[in-house]
Amino acid sequence: MPIYTAWNGPMPTTAAQASVAVAVGVKTMLQIATPATRMIQLVGWGYSIDIAPAAGIGTVELLQTDVAATVTAHVAAGVQPIDPNAPASLMTLGVSATGYTASAEGTTTAARVFAARKVPVAAGSTDLTYDYVWMPDARPWVAVSKFLRVRTTFSATTPTMLCYITWLE
């Protein structure tokens, strides 16, 4: 099974991977849409927050939802295979599918949470980068026709964030 990674921004070319501003309240930073014909198995995920918010507390979640957020659509090159000889990913691309930086969250009625992290917000916080890789027998599956999201919730000033998801198809 090929392995793929997607970030919350376009594939970098002449510039570095761009950080994206989170929002006060809920914001989907990255969304992967499984087609009706394929599940995915998660390998890992992570994020890096550029600055700590001044006050309040933040949460970063990795979850499966039943409703799409409206996102900036990834193009095929934005979903990168780990093996350069792997075929293109079969994930659904589009503004209501695989993409990043949500402009509307949609109304989720069912969710499965795979991970959630509280982000410390005190001045001088050092816990602003997180990477996680599941052991092979503990890797979660995302069902067909579902949406996998990295979602943030911040209550005060907003930092910028890089995040990614790696999966098997």
pTM, rounded to two decimals: 0.89
Task: Render each residue's pLDDT in the chain as its tens digit; 169 residues.
Answer: 899 999 998 888 777 887 888 777 888 999 999 999 999 999 999 998 887 555 567 889 999 999 999 999 999 888 999 999 999 999 999 999 999 988 888 888 888 999 998 877 665 666 688 899 999 999 999 999 999 999 988 876 667 889 999 999 9
Q: What is the pLDDT of residue 125?
A: 66
Which has the closest alpha carbon to 28: 103, 114, 95? Answer: 103
Q: How many other C-beta atoms are found inside a 10 Å radius of the C-beta of residue 159?
A: 20
Q: What is the pLDDT of residue 115?
A: 92
Q: Is 133 within 8 Å of 139 (Cβ atoms)?
A: no
Q: Which residue carries 């070319």 as its tokens? A: 13
Q: What is the pLDDT of residue 54?
A: 59
Q: What is the pLDDT of residue 121?
A: 63
Which has the closest alpha carbon to 116: 49, 51, 41, 63? Answer: 63
Q: What is the pLDDT of residue 1?
A: 86
Q: What is the pLDDT of residue 55?
A: 57
Surface-to-core class of residue 117, CB atoms within 10 Å of its CB (0-12 exposed, 13-18 middle, 19+ buried): middle
Compute the distance between CA of residue 94 and CA of residue 85 in angstroms, rounded to an integer.
24
The domain limits of the chain are 3-9+22-168
Q: What is the dihedral of CA 62, 67, 69, 71, to 10 degrees?
A: 100
Residue 136: φ, ψ to 5°: -50, -40
Compute the distance between CA of residue 54 and CA of residue 64 in angstroms, rounded to an integer.
30
